[in-house]
Structure 1
Amino acid sequence: MKTISAKMQVDHPVTEGVLDEAIESGELRRRSGLNATTVIFLDPCLAVGFEDGSGVLLPVKNYPEFDGFETEDFAGLKIGFAGAALCHEGKDLQVSIAGLISASKPLMDMAASVIASRNGRQSSAAKAEAARANGKKGGRPRKVDTAL
């Protein structure tokens, strides 16, 4: 049998520096993730609100996770897992908000469109250098029609 040594010692004392680093790491993770802050049932949809004030309406009929839920059961939904999931203690339900959103084709199509638009605006260092070089020459060179 092969013995594997642990790489990280868990019995090290927690110093102020380690604690500050952990808090900063957690804050970065929180800011970069999906952070819902509110959930409200607006029949026939769930309204999920996020930190920046934006929100999304999710029709519950599209999600089998909510089959058997009564109107009063929706009042028991809470935000959990640091804003990443909807939880209901009585129904033993934990469902990912990202999963709910990704199950909606129109929302995913919109997300793909937004990402494509954002990525199209990005410029690499090579593209920026080529644009500067072309600018010095008076702009993009004209295409020469060789079919004459």
Structure 2
Amino acid sequence: MKTIKAKVQADNPVTESSLDKAIERGELRRKNSLQATAVTYLPPCLAVSFEDGSGVLLPVANYPEFDDFEGEELASLTVGYAGTALCHEGKDLHVSIAGLISASKPLMAMAASVVASRNGRQSSAAKSEAARANGKKGGRPRKVDVVLPVPTKKPS
């Protein structure tokens, strides 16, 4: 296990530039995270809406967290924790939206497919250079089937 020593920064003054950097980091983190804006109960599912206008339907029956909930309690769920959780104050419930989505095998399979597709399209400087070098040589070499000679038995 790797040990990381904490840095003591209690005496660092807050300046305009450090505040601007912190705000910038926060905005970047917000843009790259799951940000739900609303939850609606549409029997038998919860409809979770996100900042970009997309949404997902989660069947309540698939999640044991909601087993003892009635219809009006499901309808009174709210989005909390900066858009990352579904909350019900009366039942003291706080459930991660990412956790609910990751519990669904079809949604995770689709997410894995999307990530693989997106990662396959990414290009690095080394990949671009290799493509240019191959292009100068006439492109990717064709696969050639190599036929090995079949050994023959010698008469004894």
TM range (shorter): 0.7 to 0.9
What corresponds to 1:104 in structure 2? 104
TM superposition shift of 1:25: 2.0
- 1:30-50 Cα deviation digits (max 9, x unpaired): 111100001000000000000
Identity among equivalent pairs (%):
75
Superposition deviation, residue 130 in structure 1: 1.8
Hey, what's the Cα distance between the residues in 2 that align with 1:86 and 1:108? 19
Structure 1 residues 18 and 43, CA gap change in structure 2 (3 angstroms): same
* TM-score, length-scaled by structure 2: 0.83
For 2:44, give the aligned amino acid: P
The alpha carbon displacement at 1:78 in A equals: 0.8
> Structure 1: which amino acid aligns with 2:9?
M
Verify: 1:36 aligned to 2:75, yes or no. Answer: no
More displaced, 22-31 or 34-43?
Answer: 22-31
Deviation at 1:22?
2.5
Structure whose alpha-carbon radius of gyration is higher: 2
The verdict on how the C-alpha distance between 1:129 and 1:21 changes in structure 2, with shifts beyond 3 A counting, is closer
Distance 1:68 1:139 in 2: 63
What's the counterpart of residue 146 of structure 2?
A: 146
Unaligned ranges ≥5, structure 2: 149-156
The 3-state SS of whatever aligns with 1:82 is coil
- Does 86-95 or 22-31 show the bigger shift? 22-31
For residues 65-93 of structure 1, the C-alpha deviation after alignment (integer angstroms, 9 at most, x for no partner) is: 11111111012211111110001111100
Question: What secondary structure is seen at the aligned counterpart in 1 of 2:134?
Answer: helix
Q: State the distance in 2 between where 1:5 and 1:39 align.
A: 39
Count of aligned positions: 144
Letter of the aligned partner of 1:122 in structure 2? Answer: Q
Give the alignment of 1:88-99 within 5 angstroms: 88-99=88-99
TM-score (norm 1): 0.87
Structure with greater helix percent: 1
Q: 1:43 to 1:5 in 2, by over 3 A?
A: closer
Q: 1:139 Cα deviation (Å)?
A: 1.6
